[in-house]
Amino acid sequence: MPDFERFRVLLEDERARRLDLLPALRADIEAANSARQGSNVDDEHDPEGATIAFELSQASALLKQSSAGLDQIESALARLAAGTYGTCAVCGEPIAEGRLEARPWTPYCIRHAASGRGR
């Protein structure tokens, strides 16, 4: 049986890391938006415009990914509290400890993750 307390610590550490990251990503997006609005940049023809557009796109994608990851972590912590952590949400079988080590927030065993669930 997996050491669920160890996974709780991993999840809480990852949650704290992502919560620290979100304000920095939002600031990056705000800075890129300000730089873009503060100039008459033609993204298609001005090399600097392409850089600003890329930075904005990259920061937006990271923000979306971090927010989604935070939701997954919160769900995993809720499953820990409910006593359902480590059990596949589809088949009810235990999730392999190695899988939990790699993705402690996953609600799916490897079989159901591979079928497209949990991605």
**12 is in which domain, residue-wise?**
4-84
Q: Confirm whether 97 is domain-assigned.
A: no
Per-residue confidence at 118, pLDDT binned at 50, 70, 90? very low
- What was the pLDDT predicted at 32? 73
The answer to whether position 25 is within a domain reads yes
What pLDDT sits at residue 119? 46
pLDDT in tens, 11-39: 999 999 989 888 888 887 888 777 766 56
Q: Is residue 43 part of a domain?
A: yes
Residue 89 lies in a domain: no
Residue 100 lies in a domain: no
What pLDDT score does 61 carry?
A: 85
In a domain, 108, yes or no: no
Q: What secondary structure letter does DSSP report for 95? A: P
Asked whether residue 73 is assigned to any structural domain, the reply reads: yes
User: Tokens in use for 43?
Assistant: 């993204």
Question: pLDDT tens digit string along 49-81?
Answer: 567 777 778 888 888 888 888 999 999 999 999
In 2-88 the beta strands, taken as DSSP E runs, fall at: none
Question: Phi and psi of 83, rounded to 5°?
Answer: 85, 15
Number of domains making up the chain: 1
Q: Is residue 19 part of a domain?
A: yes
Residues with Cβ within 8 Å of 66's Cβ and at least 6 positions away in sequence, in order, are: 18, 21, 22, 25
d(CA 51, CA 46): 9
